[in-house]
Structure 1
Amino acid sequence: MALNVEYPCFGSGEPTRLSAEAIRRLGADLRQRLLGYQARPFPPTDLFRRAASLRVNGRPLRIVWDAGHAVHDDAGKPVLGVCEHDPQEPATVMISLNAELLADQPEILRSTAAHELGHAIFDMPAAVAKGAARAFRSGAVAAGDAAPIDWREWRADEFMGAFLAPRRQLARAFAREASAFGAAIRWKVINEIPTPYVAANDVGWPAIDAIAGALAEEFGVTSAFIGVRLRKYGLVG
């Protein structure tokens, strides 16, 4: 049975300008419906199986996952993943994850899968409706590279972040870990949600890094990923 996903969009299927908070709510909600509420690493195969059939704003979307082959861009350069639509396959999106790069990196495999799922949800309905071939590829960017914001990539990243580490679950786990380190927990309201907050200067950045490492293991992601979410959610500063 197809799982319903809804967000404001134009008649073409293109999303309206969504706020980060709206995207995060959608990502967290879909995570709960697909994989449950608990903050724990999930087997990627569970995601592949459960996110194979969606209905996005009333449009059916079949997702075919492949994590068993190498994936390259148009120039032949290896990339982490790709989300694409073939006009010959109506209402079907293919998400391919690079087995050569990700086989021994389950944390990166999860984040790449969630990122590409974000593209499938937000970018592919319009492509499918138009019968247009379209692809979105994930790859590493060299340090120091500067480029204009790609809003489609930003949207997929915000979705990924909330899908893998929903705000409420991460805030609860962060408060627990921070308390264990003796950090002073302060509280503030963000988007009408009481949120624990730790001043890094109070506890020290080495402690914040240690907390991020513990949370990374709990959520099945990298420490760098947790560090980004802590800042974006306003849990540390």
Structure 2
Amino acid sequence: MVAVFKRELIQVIPNPPNERTFTLSTVTDKGHYISLRPLVKPTTEEEKKFPFEWGFGGRNTSVEIINVNSNSFKQNFVFELDLNEYLQIPNTHSGLINTLWTTWDSGCLEETGELFPFGKNKESVAFRELWQPIDPSKSVDFDHLTLKDGDDAHNGSKETSVALHIDNDTFVGLVVVAGNILQGILFKKNDNTIKGTNFIRGIIASEEKKEFTYSIKYGEDVTSFPLDLFTKHDSIKVGDVISQWKVIESNL
């Protein structure tokens, strides 16, 4: 199921809820996923230099979904690409993350879970997030995303669903296209600093041209992403290699 979710709030319990980011999580039909969390109003010099709360993603082999009932499911992650781990930030959770997702009557999804930043046998940190489903096939502007609500939120889009993966001597990364929305993460190996970190986020504003308008193009190696994915390639098939990126899913 192709899906895009916009985060509306995060709460690190017992602190009050807040939201400082424009977080979008994108998921392909086969379950490859990326979540990018850029800050809306970076304030400190450090934030202005690197305006991201977090970013992570992975192929479908790194996530497990278990249905609980008609309104909830468990989602267990082991992130393949984790900004915090890449930057070797102290007190970063490592390994499996267990979450529970519950659908509200409005169609929004509440995610709850625990992190263990100090080690699996140490004190946990509970969190709560609220997600608004977005219609990825109708959205053509990041300032005016088309929302899903009510029963419509349960229906996944069968629109464009593409994923590309790279893992060579220099880079490891993932690009996910869900409907009209593209997100990408690219890390330079053996760097582990913000200089080795690259993010993109784009949207197709014109179905005829199939060109992405990018709201995020961050990083010294951002041109290593397949930025003109659809304009330069008429057909994209699983197994194709595009600028060193291997196509692992393609449903156009």
Give the TM-score, by structure 2 length.
Answer: 0.26
**Which one has the bigger strand percentage?**
2
Q: Which protein, 1 or 2, shows the higher relative CO under an 8 Å CA cutoff with sep ≥ 6?
A: 1
Give the TM-score, by structure 1 length.
Answer: 0.27
